[in-house]
Chain A
Amino acid sequence: MSIEKYTRSFLKEVEERVEEGHWVKMCMQCGVCAGSCPLGAHWEHTPQKIFMMIRAGKREEVLSSDSMWMCTSCYQCIVRCPRKLPITHIMHGLAYLAKREGLVPKNQPTAQFGQLFWDNLVKTGRVNELKLSLGMYFKDGFSQGIKNAMAMQSVGLGMMKAKRLNPMEIMGGHGIKDKSGFHAMLKKARELEDSRRKLA
């Protein structure tokens, strides 16, 4: 999609397709969000800059940005924003749009984790912590996986002791009763969201 600069076409898309996207126009470029974010140093583009890029029509750059994947939902930005923009929500909304548009940067770890989590969850209706962590450790290959697992050993053992992690889950683990009903629910929810956000 080619967008003319500083027209509303991308802003309009964001307003329609991104959760809380209609707030983007209210930003006054003070930058307090950028400074308040605990992960700020890792951002490629700060939130306020992303909002300016949206207004400037930089669709590709925004949606392929690494930035919104850095959000850990600490809500510091929302608390501080003098215009009360729900920045956290907008960031997640933008990430979702990027994902749906296939513009997520390759090997973006948050995106990868999200996908793993989702796949893991959808399978049985329950999260299998063991498989999820192993999936995460081994996503970059076997030897890296071993290294990761060793590094996280003490955390894993601790969780086991506290009965937060069951080693037997490797066998397949627990799930919900009505899996097909659950999948039907997810399908319906996705349909609703797609039509609401024009994502189909």
Chain B
Amino acid sequence: MTEVVATNQTILVVGGGISGMTAALEAAECGKEVVLIEKNPVLGGRVSQLYRYFPKLCHPTCGLEINQRRVKQNKRIRILTMAEVTGITGSPGDYTASVKIAPRYVNENCTACGDCGDAAETMIDDAFNYNLGKVKAAFLPSRMSYPQRYVVDPSVIGTPEADKIKAACKYDAVDLSMQEETVQVKAGAVVWATGWKPYDANKIQPYGYDRFDNVITSVEFERLSDPHGPTGGKILRPSDGKEAKNVAFIQCAGSRDENHLRHCSRICCMASLKQTNYMREAFGDEGKSTIYYIDIRAIDRFEDFYQKVQADPNVKFVKSKVARILEDKDGNPVLHGVDTEGYHRYATPHDLVVLAVGMEPSVSAANIPAEIVSDSSGFIEQDQANGAIFGAGCAANPLDVNRSVQSATASALRAIQVINRVARAEG
């Protein structure tokens, strides 16, 4: 694992979500050598945590399966998981990246048989489910895990439980002596595809995400709606486990707001429109959704999807940025604001509020360990000054999946252009 053979004709892809996987695969399927770095224990990134995609309402794991198969059969891609780039030196055609690899405590002998998970007792927060549930301290991060290999949580290392976990493995796959290590990876070009993170909803004080159990984020709602999520796909509100049949979706939770994110995050309108379908799926005509919005940004043929949702009598649209949320005695969040079409003041109770939180770059350009030109939100810009470090997907712009993949495919070509130049120079 530690000997990563790479040359200045190798492309380093940072981030193993759909953008990074795409960039790596497109380049590798063009015959290029790729090293793919992922911070998490498995590939798939944020899309693997979505229940369905808009506008087809198909499942992200379907595409992930294909991409995993492409990765499995392509020997040109080497993958480092639980790894982060801590420094990049050099110049186009000749970079060296320092990659810090955290210990997984499980080696490639793992067959994913699950015996270590059975042996573990400590329950830890389930990051895959945005901490809405718990997993064992020896766990497979998701059902679609690739690499299909367990992880032992550092919290149990050094305890008798760790020894029990190790003893449970018949295949000598649990290695408690693993240490953090740093490796150097040479590369001619770098594709930076570290994706996005949901804007911290705690910062939007009037919405009370930190105070009210029944105010959650759109990404959490994805997990609640997923039959394989922490509630088994039942849309239950956190405070009392009651079915949330009347849900408010608040658009621009953080986005288009100079107090928070200056940009429009592009995806949130479509995501909320999609999530009204989850309500219909879960509760039929009993599931009521209300979307509070400024502008519904359903561009190109997404408009069809918007019109379909508009035609649903169980979905209401209120043109209003919600001013604040209070809680009534039954724990119902009550939304206060003004419908700006005409002038209608409202104080509407809902069972659950879903904040359509904005997209922030996961790694703001300012924190990339290289000199990178970025826009005011920290997204990587296309700039000569960035040399052969190319932003891809949501590291470069708030994008939906489709456009992220286009961006990643484009960035793969930009990297190949550099590699081919190096190859020509080296003969």
Contacts and interface: CB of A to CB of B under 8 A. Distances in A.
B177 interface: no
Contacts of B260: 82
B339 A82 contact: no
Contact of A31 (B256, B258, B339): B339
B76 interface: no
Interface in B341-372: 343, 345
Nearest to B255: A82
B343 A49 contact: yes
A48 B323 CA distance: 13
Contact of A29 (B252, B294, B324): B294
Given A31-B321, A32-B321, A49 B340 contact: yes
Given A30-B294, A36-B323, A41-B345, A84 B340 contact: no
A123 interface: no
Given A29-B294, A82-B252, A34 B258 contact: no
A35 B320 contact: yes
Interface residues of B, number: 21
A59 B135 CA distance: 63
B259 interface: yes
Nearest to A48: B340
B256 A82 contact: yes
Contacts of B256: 28, 82
B338 interface: yes
A35 B259 contact: no
A32 B337 contact: yes
Nearest to B338: A34
Contacts of A84: 258-259
Interface string A39-72: 0110001101100000000000000000000000
B91 to A, nearest CB: 41
A80 B207 CA distance: 12
A34 B321 CA distance: 10
B108 interface: no
B339 to A, nearest CB: 7
Contact of B320 (A31, A40, A41): A31
Interface in B298-325: 319-324
A30 B252 contact: yes
Contacts of B257: 82
B336 interface: yes
Contacts of A41: 345
Contacts of B339: 31
A35 B258 contact: no
Contact of A82 (B321, B336, B338): B321
Contacts of A45: 343
A188 B25 CA distance: 75
Contacts of A32: 321-323, 337
Interface of B: 206, 252, 256-260, 294, 319-324, 336-340, 343, 345
| Closest CB pairs A-B (n = 3) | A35-B323, A35-B337, A34-B338
29 contacts: A30-B294, A31-B319, A31-B323, A31-B339, A31-B340, A32-B321, A32-B322, A34-B323, A34-B337, A34-B343, A35-B321, A35-B323, A35-B324, A35-B337, A36-B323, A36-B324, A40-B338, A45-B343, A48-B338, A49-B340, A79-B259, A80-B259, A80-B323, A82-B256, A82-B257, A82-B258, A82-B260, A84-B258, A84-B259
